[in-house]
Structure 1
Amino acid sequence: MAKKNINTDNDQLLAEFKALVSDTEQLLQHSVELSGDKAEELREQINSSLQRARKALGSTEHALRERGKEAIHSSEEYVREHPLQSLAIGAGVGFLLGLLVSRR
């Protein structure tokens, strides 16, 4: 469930950045011939695009932080429930890393 939410957030973030890039490119192409009120409108459009991108980044950052907290919590819970298995897994990984390092 959390993974689908993260994927949705990533898709929204990607869509926001694509829209931001597209809007910015269009506005910059038209900025050469604009002056006065039109230039001010152009700045407002760019600013609103940047604000949308910032909001999308903020929501994605929050979702990633929550996912990380959940992963840490579940890892700690597993270690508390299965201390000997956790110790064996850690020793096995350490042994394999030692073998890999000693071969170099």
Structure 2
Amino acid sequence: KARALAMAENYVPPEPREMHLPGPSGEAAMTLVLNDFHRAGKATAHDVTVGKKLAHVLAGGKTDPTETLAEDKILNLERNAIVSLLRTSPTLDRIEHMLETGKPLRN
């Protein structure tokens, strides 16, 4: 405990980062790849659902590519995607299966 307190004494959080992300055009490109994987049998329907949520986050949502996006906005996109996925039964099935078997479920 003393060591942790000593380390925390001089701790300064890192400056929040800002990034340029592609926005809707980048999301569309990632979605095309996901759809190709699905057509080729390399991704399930729910893989595509999860992938589209991830593409939305990685692209920065509806951001303009010429503008910077603050880290907290990206974290908010991520949080919204996770909460949205947690409301789907296939996601809950995947979580339950992983907890029970230690192996991923391909649904």
- Highest RCO, 1 vs 2 (Cα 8 Å, sep ≥ 6): 1
Name the structure where helix makes up a greater proportion of residues.
Answer: 1
